[in-house]
Amino acid sequence: MQNQNMSDIIEAYLKQVLGVHEQIEIRRSEMANQFNCVPSQINYVINTRFTVQQGYLVESKRGGGGYIRIIKVKLLDKVEMLDAMIQIIGEKISQKDAYSIIQKLYEDEVITKREATLMLSALEKNVLASSEKNENSLRAKILIAFVDNLRYE
């Protein structure tokens, strides 16, 4: 635990709770007090480690009775999950977001470690080197082709 930073600790705690419950509702200030950190640290963890690409929906309500609700998404079957991923990818995707999608496919055992490694290497910045606009569009097209092809045996 000593080698983990605060974000890792908060993430591990939330994922542990989500392992037992399908959703968690938290108050940012209470979580900050619990982990002896600033509330923006809680925001950072939620915004970077609980994204749609990683299989989570986040809802929030501001104000005195405000909360942040994190829901672990359960897709009905492989095809539905792949369709959802294609929608998320859209026309452009950053290398970081592409990596998150591939990691999710690997974690859900849709692809093997070797397939994930091959996909990641094909989507690297230095492989797609061109203007950033073209790079993200090209990355999206390639990733959609990979994901779409996973529908078939």
| CATH value at residue 85 | 1.10.1200.150
118's enclosing H/E stretch is helix 113-122
On whether residue 42 sits in a domain, the answer given is yes
On whether residue 56 sits in a domain, the answer given is yes
In contact, 46 and 58? CB cutoff 8 Å: yes
Which residue, of 27, 42, 72, is where some domain finishes? Answer: 72
Which residue, of 72, 99, 120, is where some domain finishes? Answer: 72
Q: Are residues 55 and 91 in the same domain?
A: no
Beta-sheet pairing, 23-26 with 67-72: antiparallel
**pLDDT score of 10:** 93
In contact, 85 and 105? CB cutoff 8 Å: yes
Which residue, of 72, 94, 123, is where some domain finishes? Answer: 72
Q: Are residues 14 and 38 in the same domain?
A: yes
Q: Are residues 67 and 10 in the same domain?
A: yes
Q: 145: buried, middle or exposed (CB in 10 Å: 19+, 13-18, 0-12)?
A: exposed
d(Cα 30, Cα 75) in Å, to the nearest integer?
A: 31
pTM of the model: 0.54
**pLDDT score of 113:** 93
**pLDDT score of 76:** 54
Show the domain range for 110.
78-149
Total domains in the fold of the chain: 2
Using alpha carbons, select from 48, 52, 42 the residue that is nearest to residue 9: 42
**pLDDT score of 3:** 53
Q: Are residues 93 and 39 in the same domain?
A: no
Q: Which ranges of the chain have pLDDT less than 70?
A: 1-3, 53, 64-65, 74-77, 130-133, 151-153
**pLDDT score of 104:** 86
Q: Are residues 114 and 128 in the same domain?
A: yes
d(Cα 66, Cα 42) in Å, to the nearest integer?
A: 14
Q: Are residues 88 and 131 in the same domain?
A: yes
